[in-house]
């Protein structure tokens, strides 16, 4: 009798490992990315002894930081059902504006603000054409990608700007608890965006627009105003990422951050955001950016030719789009 009672009680008190795992993946989808990072890191460590060195870990986190900061803004755009292809060029333009302002002897904080504002200006231009004039965000931001890059080159005729104030360079080189400053800046933005998207009306309205724009309008959401704000924030975040990248490199070059828009979009989608809008988290963006940075680092450590690295990014983007399609099916 006791044996029978134990058998009948077991399913209620001791769920199977498979059911527990399924429940975890459903309730915390980011766990799949964490698992992928752990397994990927372990595999890379077996193939390259340099992977776990302090210098290499710092390099991975630096690469991750620039992508993650820009990706937070991209998340907002994608969550509303749009896309921003101008990220990389906006980063380059913001870095160049910051560099030129610094060379004029302007205080570092003012130069950083100028660079961030340059990014926000690109975002505002995207919003005017995409939101106000109802043009496709894909076409508008594709054009902005070219315009911003052209302006960046034209500002210096393609020359490199360097020789900045040491206090500015310290932003990219200083470490805290052994980790680079840009990494901590990315973590601060993670907290800000995570709270804003999960616990504020701002976040709920963004998701409602991406889920059903018509329903959001009928519910009283000022869709045009919010979408304009989203594009401006995305431009500003790209601007901050460009400033950080310039501080790290110690120079501003016209071809900086080329191709970053693809890496940023891939990070957002791999992190769980849907290209159709309405879904996505700040934590997912961080994990997606970290996963891409990890694999890129592995390709470098394993001396994989550059063209295969570019191929990988392309495959990742297509795979992320396919996963998004399957997830929505």
- For 250-290, the pLDDT digits (tens) are 999 999 998 899 899 989 988 888 888 888 999 999 999 99
Residue 243 is predicted with a pLDDT of 96
pLDDT band at 173 (very low <50, low <70, confident <90, very high): confident
C-alpha distances (whole Å) from 287 to each of 186, 187, 245, 258, 273 are 12, 12, 20, 22, 12
Residue 7 is predicted with a pLDDT of 47
Secondary element (H or E) of residue 161: strand 161-162
Where would I find the H helices in 80-136?
A: 87-103, 108-127
Residue 297 is predicted with a pLDDT of 87
- Fold that domain 52-328 belongs to in CATH: ABC transporter involved in vitamin B12 uptake, BtuC (1.10.3470)
Per-domain residue ranges of the chain: 52-328
Residue 23 is predicted with a pLDDT of 54
Residue 37 is predicted with a pLDDT of 85
Per the listing, tokens 């399609």 go with 325
Question: Would you say 171 and 98 are in contact if contact means Cβ atoms under 8 Å apart?
Answer: no
Q: For 138-170, how does the pLDDT look when each residue is reduced to its tens digit (9 = 90+)?
A: 999 999 999 999 999 999 988 899 889 899 999
Question: Is the pLDDT score of 309 beyond 80?
Answer: no
Question: Is the pLDDT score of 29 beyond 80?
Answer: no
Q: For 118-138, how does the pLDDT look when each residue is reduced to its tens digit (9 = 90+)?
A: 999 999 999 999 999 999 999
Question: Is the pLDDT score of 27 beyond 90?
Answer: no
The span from the CA of 20 to the CA of 116, in Å, is 45
R_g (Cα) of the chain, nearest Å? 22
Rounded to the nearest integer, the mean pLDDT of the chain is: 87
Question: Is the pLDDT score of 226 beyond 70?
Answer: yes
Question: Is the pLDDT score of 1 beyond 50?
Answer: no
Question: Is the pLDDT score of 10 beyond 70?
Answer: no
Sign of torsion over alpha carbons 185, 277, 230, 149:
positive
Residue 327 is predicted with a pLDDT of 66
Question: Is the pLDDT score of 225 beyond 90?
Answer: yes
- Structure tokens, 24: 């975890």
The span from the CA of 295 to the CA of 257, in Å, is 18
- Bridge partners, 175 (sequence order): 180
């Amino acid at each position: 009798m006791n044996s029978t009672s134990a058998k009948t009680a077991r399913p209620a008190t001791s769920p199977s490992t498979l059911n527990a795992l399924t429940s975890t993946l459903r309730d915390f989808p980011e766990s799949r990315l964490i698992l992928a990072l752990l397994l990927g890191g372990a595999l890379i460590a077996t193939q390259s002894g340099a992977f776990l060195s302090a210098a290499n870990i710092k390099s991975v986190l630096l690469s991750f930081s620039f992508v993650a900061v820009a990706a937070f803004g991209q998340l907002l755009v994608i969550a509303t059902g749009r896309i921003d292809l101008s990220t990389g060029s906006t980063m380059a333009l913001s870095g160049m504006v910051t560099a030129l302002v610094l060379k004029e002897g302007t205080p570092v904080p003012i130069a950083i603000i100028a660079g961030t504002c340059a990014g926000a200006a690109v975002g505002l231009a995207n919003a005017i054409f995409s939101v106000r004039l109802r043009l496709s965000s894909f076409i508008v931001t594709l054009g902005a990608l070219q315009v911003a890059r052209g302006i960046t080159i034209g500002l210096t005729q393609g020359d490199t700007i360097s020789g900045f104030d040491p206090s500015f360079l310290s932003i990219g080189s200083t470490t805290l608890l052994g980790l680079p400053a840009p990494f901590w800046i990315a973590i601060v933005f993670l907290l800000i965006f995570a709270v804003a998207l999960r616990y504020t009306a701002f976040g709920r309205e963004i998701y409602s627009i991406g889920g059903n724009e018509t329903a959001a309008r009928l519910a009283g959401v000022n869709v045009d105003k919010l979408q304009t704000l989203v594009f401006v924030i995305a431009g500003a975040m790209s601007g901050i990422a460009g400033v950080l990248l310039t501080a790290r490199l110690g120079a501003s070059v016209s071809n900086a951050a080329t191709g970053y828009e693809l890496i940023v979009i891939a990070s957002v989608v791999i992190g769980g955001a849907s290209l159709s809008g309405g879904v996505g988290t700040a934590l997912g963006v961080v994990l997606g950016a970290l996963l891409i940075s990890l694999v890129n680092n592995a390709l470098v450590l394993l001396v994989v030719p550059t063209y295969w690295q570019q191929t990988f990014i392309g495959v990742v983007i297509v795979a992320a789009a396919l996963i998004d399609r399957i997830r929505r099916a």
